[in-house]
Structure 1
Amino acid sequence: MPREWVARAFTRVEDVVYVVLGLLLAASAIALLASAGVAFARAVAGGEIAGRLVAILDQLLLVLMIVEILYTVQISFREHALVPEPFLVVGLIAGIRRVLVITAELSNVGQQDPETFRRAMLELGLLTLMVLALVGALGIVRRRAPGAAAEKA
């Protein structure tokens, strides 16, 4: 009897943590989305869209990552189970974000020394391998659990 009571108490505490975490993640995503919207409007109004587009896209991809984490929290709250797919998607988005940042930094390639350029190319190569591995892992996860992938869509 005491063991069941402790297990139920832990489950309730876990639920409270998931709810608070979900609320904080949702508020963060909404605030970042609003910030990106304001930045986009200012860039368009100021005629600076080309120069600000990478930063705005980076912010939007961060919002997507937060939403995927929020989805993971929702599943964990509802089913009390961890699902690997959202973590893989977050990793994929993070890799793509980093590729965008590196390519934006390399746009001034004439100003880069050869060592910096070589390191950036090496990082891009490793990121490409990581993205391919994550896509492969997503494919495997979706084939093994087609119901979970269809539920999200």
Structure 2
Amino acid sequence: MGEGVEEAVKATLDLLLLVFIFVELLGAVRSTVRERKLVAEPFLIIGIIASIKEIVVVSISAKDDFGNPDGSFEDAMLEIGILAGLVVALALAMFLSRLKEREPEE
């Protein structure tokens, strides 16, 4: 019974995070259409949310692979590390984007 509940929680969490990503995407498209220019920040937020979603899903799945000799746990940890780097890169891009917006125009 424990594995069935765990799979249901994993599937529900995956679906909820996916719905959240779509809601953010619709908001980003709406703000782009309203302002009539491409605004990068909402899309960077979507990228961060999507990366965090994958980190959560991969880490839930990776706990079952711990101790397997086939290297699947190490692959999952590598994927989590790459996704964490992506989150940091997107956050840095968002920070730099905000700094650029605050600069006075010449």
Shorter-chain TM-score bucket reads 0.7 to 0.9
- The alpha carbon displacement at 1:98 in A equals 1.0
The CA distance in 1 between the partners of 2:68 and 2:35, in whole Å, is 50
Gaps of 5+ in 1: 1-47, 147-153
Q: 1:133 aligns with which of 85, 89, 92?
A: 89
- 1:3-53 per-residue CA deviation (whole Å, 9 max, x = no partner) reads xxxxxxxxxxxxxxxxxxxxxxxxxxxxxxxxxxxxxxxxxxxxx9x6233
Asked which structure has the greater CA Rg, the reply is: 1
Find runs of 4+ consecutive structure 1 residues off by over 6 angstroms.
none
Offset of residue 142 of structure 1: 2.4
In structure 2, what is the equivalent of residue 89 of structure 1? 45
Question: Could you say which structure has the higher helix fraction?
Answer: 1
Where does residue 13 of structure 1 map in the other structure? none
C-alpha deviations, 1:84-105, integer Å up to 9, x for none? 0111111111111111111111
1:56 aligns with 2:15: no
Q: Percent identity among equivalent residues?
A: 38
Aligned residue number for residue 38 of structure 1: none
TM-score (norm 2): 0.78
Aligned-residue CA RMSD (Å): 2.4
Contact 1:72–1:82 (Cα < 8 Å) also in 2: no
Q: Aligned partner of 1:142: which letter?
A: R
5+ residue gaps, structure 2:
none
Write the distance in 2 (CA, Å) between the matches of 1:103 and 1:78: 38
Q: With a CA cutoff of 8 Å and minimum separation of 6, indicate the structure with the bigger relative contact order.
A: 2
The answer to whether the Cα contact below 8 Å between 1:61 and 1:97 also exists between their aligned partners in 2 is yes
